[in-house]
């Protein structure tokens, strides 16, 4: 049968995720993968997870093996609320929705807000997973450049002002303000406050994606954009994938109650609810106060790798690149001063046993300003391979 006759127009026009495709290559024996953004398996709290699993299965197996409310288990929602309050985000339990990963959260945002052709503003570069979701909803995607202090808020407002004069304001702004994926940059406090001003002035929603903020290795803590939001303009997304383990697929969203109500309806048509068992395990993990000690263990682990990558990049590439040292998260972003397309060198790198992600993977179109860039991740690579991989890339470029 010719299945192309039955596939929807949307799926036929949707390209595969470039990073997921590269990850297939990275699984080959002997390949040094600086491409993926996975957390290291060395950081997974396996023993604590076993204890929590046994506890919840011993106390309430019937409950956690049954269907549960779409919005999430009340004990996890309460734990997430407490975490959020500690981070300066004021919210009640009905401001919170538990999701099956942040990727589902982004899908829910698009499902309740977007009609085909609606404009969304993203950072340039930005996370390809969110670009993939936006494309699936046929959004018009506009990128605003990122510098060492995050998204250029002056240019951001210029674009929104221009759209407002034409009577067509974009549906929302999507941002990863802290240890951004892929650039590793952090949006300054001043710019975070300015984004809130823009949101109020033009009545535009801000979607804040914040999976990395607890993985800070240097610098001072900066409050989330959501913590400055007093009128419900910000939809906040966070996840346990990077700070716990991604296999549990549990994340959360915080937004105005009316937005959460619509998302609950939309989620009911997706998966009814996020895994009750996985929610219960994380709730128990948090109840036992294990998150702090877990973070105290994994932050130094990642900090050492981050320092090695920064040091090696500076030693090997020198003044041939533009490079900002990340204060946290998993990623480093390199822009070569040479006018070359890093996408054209990927197979040469693979032949030498190294994988990276070309900069062009992180934009909505064929942006020239991304072609000479590449993203590197230090999260899952051992220390010796970080050095070796960067040395090989330096020779190739």
CA separation for the pair 374, 351 (Å, rounded): 17
Q: Could you tell me if 339 and 358 are in contact, meaning their C-beta atoms sit under 8 angstroms apart?
A: no
Q: Indicate the Cα dihedral angle 162, 163, 164, 169, nearest 10°.
A: -150
What structural domains does the chain harbor?
A: 3-44+293-396 (3.90.1150.10), 47-289 (3.40.640.10)
Q: Over the stretch 8-26, which tens digit does the pLDDT of each residue have?
A: 777 877 776 666 666 666 5
CA separation for the pair 210, 195 (Å, rounded): 16
Output helix, strand, coil percentages for the chain, rounded to the nearest 5: 50, 15, 35
Instruction: Give, as one character, the DSSP assignment of residue 39.
Output: P
Q: Indicate the Cα dihedral angle 224, 380, 386, 181, nearest 10°.
A: -30
pTM of the predicted model as reported, rounded to 2 decimal places: 0.94
Q: Could you tell me if 364 and 143 are in contact, meaning their C-beta atoms sit under 8 angstroms apart?
A: yes
Q: Indicate the Cα dihedral angle 158, 162, 165, 166, nearest 10°.
A: -160
Mean pLDDT of the chain: 93
What is the predicted pLDDT for the residue at 27? 63
Q: Over the stretch 197-228, which tens digit does the pLDDT of each residue have?
A: 999 999 999 999 999 999 999 999 999 999 99
Query: What is the mean pLDDT of each successive set of 10 residues along the chain, which is 397 residues long?
Result: 76 68 64 90 95 92 92 97 95 97 97 97 96 96 96 97 96 98 96 98 98 96 97 97 94 98 96 96 96 97 97 94 93 93 92 93 88 95 96 95
Q: Indicate the Cα dihedral angle 249, 255, 257, 261, nearest 10°.
A: -40
Who's near 79: CB < 8 A, 6+ residues apart?
282, 283, 286, 287
For 223, the token pair is 């409050």
Who's near 386: CB < 8 A, 6+ residues apart?
34, 305, 308, 309, 312, 378
Q: Over the stretch 94-116, which tens digit does the pLDDT of each residue have?
A: 999 999 999 999 999 999 999 99
């Amino acid at each position: 049968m010719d299945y192309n006759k039955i596939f929807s127009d949307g799926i036929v026009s949707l390209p595969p995720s470039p990073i997921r495709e590269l990850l297939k290559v990275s699984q080959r024996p002997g390949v040094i993968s600086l491409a993926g953004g996975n957390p290291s398996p060395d950081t997974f709290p396996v023993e604590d997870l076993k204890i929590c699993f046994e506890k919840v299965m011993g106390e309430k197996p019937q409950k956690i093996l049954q269907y549960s409310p779409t919005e999430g288990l009340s004990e996890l929602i309460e734990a997430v609320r407490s975490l959020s309050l500690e981070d300066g985000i004021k919210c009640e339990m009905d401001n919170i929705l538990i999701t099956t990963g942040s990727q589902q959260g982004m899908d829910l945002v698009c499902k309740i807000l977007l009609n085909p052709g609606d404009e969304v503003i993203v950072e340039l570069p930005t996370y390809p997973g969110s670009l993939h979701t936006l494309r699936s909803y046929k959004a018009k995607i506009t990128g605003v450049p990122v510098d060492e202090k995050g998204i250029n808020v002056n240019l951001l407002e210029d674009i929104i002002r221009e759209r407002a004069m034409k009577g067509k304001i974009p549906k929302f702004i999507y941002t990863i303000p802290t240890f951004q994926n892929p650039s590793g940059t952090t949006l300054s406090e001043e710019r975070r406050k300015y984004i809130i001003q823009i949101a109020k002035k033009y009545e535009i929603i801000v979607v804040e994606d914040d999976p990395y903020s607890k993985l800070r290795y240097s610098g001072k803590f900066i409050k989330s954009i959501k913590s400055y939001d007093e009128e419900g303009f910000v939809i906040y997304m966070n996840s346990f994938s990077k700070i716990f383990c991604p296999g549990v697929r549990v994340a959360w969203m915080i937004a105005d109650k009316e937005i959460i109500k619509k998302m609950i309806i939309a989620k009911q048509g997706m998966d009814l609810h996020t895994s009750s068992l996985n929610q219960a395990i994380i709730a128990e993990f948090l109840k036992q106060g294990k998150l702090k000690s877990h973070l105290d263990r994994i932050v130094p682990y990642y900090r050492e790798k981050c320092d090695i990558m920064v040091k090696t990049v500076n030693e090997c590439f020198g003044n041939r690149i533009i490079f900002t040292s990340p204060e946290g998260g998993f990623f480093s972003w390199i822009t070569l001063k040479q006018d070359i397309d890093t996408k054209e060198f990927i197979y040469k790198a693979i032949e030498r046993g190294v994988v990276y992600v070309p900069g062009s993977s992180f934009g909505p179109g064929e942006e020239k300003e991304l072609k000479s860039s590449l993203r590197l991740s230090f999260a899952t690579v051992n220390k010796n391979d970080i050095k070796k991989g960067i040395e090989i890339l330096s020779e190739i470029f």
